Amino acid sequence: MNTPVPTGTVLDRILEARRAEVEHRKKVLPETALKYGVAAATPLRDFAASLTRPGINVLAELKPASPSRGVIREPFDPVALATSLEAAGAVALSVLTEGEFFRGTLKNLRDARKSVQIPVLRKDFIFDPWQVWEARANDADSFLLIVAALTDRQLEELVALGRELKMEPLVEVHTPAELDRALRVGVKIIGVNNRNLKTLEVRVETSFELIERIPDDCIAVSESGIRTNAELLKLREAGFDAFLIGTSLMLAPDPAHTLSALLGQTA
């Protein structure tokens, strides 16, 4: 069943904190109530289609902080960031909703999505079906699953629930073994995270090492550590359909200008 083994890493600490928080929130807001929220949610936007448009498809990430860097952007205005990044050419947004380590909130997700027309992914540490219902009830169009944080059974269950709700998840891997596990479940959107979540080391080479193993009928997304237009073009040529970029945008004085430069739209 490939149960993840705790190793005392940052990922383990985040998951431990999230499990405690989710158990508390489930008592306050039962799944039945979330299902009413899902029924009242705004119509879904096609996340998968946004990643397969012609050209360079950037999934721009709204991230106030991270365990490796601490506070990244302050003040943090999700509406201003969302609207400017959409105008600069982002095809979708990824919004952090984990609070303790990333300073994210579901309100940031809702506010960002209301201000744009592109799809929005909930980026969090999701391991419980309750969190998937919570994502859709808060108007998310997709959600992240991290193979390293899940058993095979959890992965299969969460992918199936996402599809039941018409939300195809972005499933993140960073090793050949994790990719094999994702493919056995029939995942359609594969994200190769160039940041090892256990060591926090970033290697863009990870994407090049795994792309040949990703079937052509899957959508391939390269995540983390991408800083130049040349890198984007090289990854695109290697076979990636889309690119998740967060930290370099959030650190920039003008994230929209930085995104335009990455897309080759500015001198």
At 68 the pLDDT is 83
Q: What is the 3-state secondary structure (H, E, C) of 70-125?
A: EECCCCCCHHHHHHHHHHHCCCEEEEECCCCCCCCCHHHHHHHHHCCCCCEEEECC
Catalytic site includes residue 172: yes
What the block records as the tokens of 204 is 């863009």
Catalytic site includes residue 63: yes
Q: From start to end of the chain, where are the E strands?
A: 57-62, 65-66, 70-71, 92-96, 120-123, 142-146, 170-173, 189-193, 219-223, 242-245
For the chain, what are the domain ranges?
Answer: 10-40+47-262
Residue 34's H or E segment, with its range, is: helix 31-39
Task: Determine the Cα angle at 207 with ends 87 and 267, to 5°.
Answer: 35
Residue 26's H or E segment, with its range, is: helix 10-28
What the block records as the tokens of 217 is 């009928």
Active-site residue (options: 84, 193, 194, 207): 193
Give strand pairing partners of 191: 172, 221
What is the Cα Rg of the chain in Å?
Answer: 17
Active-site residue (options: 63, 108, 168, 194): 63
Q: Which of 152, 151, 185, 193 is nearest to 168 (CA)?
A: 185
SS3 138: coil
The domain made up of 10-40+47-262 has a fold known as: TIM Barrel (3.20.20)
Cβ–Cβ < 8 Å for 261, 239: no
What the block records as the tokens of 218 is 């899957």
Active-site residue (options: 86, 98, 168, 223): 223
At 266 the pLDDT is 62
Catalytic site includes residue 166: no
The distance from CA 187 to its chain's CA centroid, rounded to whole angstroms, is 15
At 137 the pLDDT is 97
Active-site residue (options: 50, 108, 123, 222): 123
Q: Which of 109, 191, 189 is nearest to 148 (CA)?
A: 191
What the block records as the tokens of 17 is 């904190």
For the chain (267 residues), the mean pLDDT of every run of 10, in chain order, is 56 93 94 95 98 96 92 96 98 97 97 98 97 98 97 98 98 97 98 85 93 97 94 96 96 97 81
Q: How many CA atoms lie within 13 A of 140 on its CB side?
A: 30
Catalytic site includes residue 61: yes
At 181 the pLDDT is 98
Active-site residue (options: 57, 61, 84, 178): 61
At 69 the pLDDT is 86
Active-site residue (options: 50, 66, 84, 224): 224
Active-site residue (options: 172, 178, 194, 207): 172
Catalytic site includes residue 260: no
Catalytic site includes residue 57: no
SS3 152: helix
Please tell me the pTM assigned to this model: 0.94
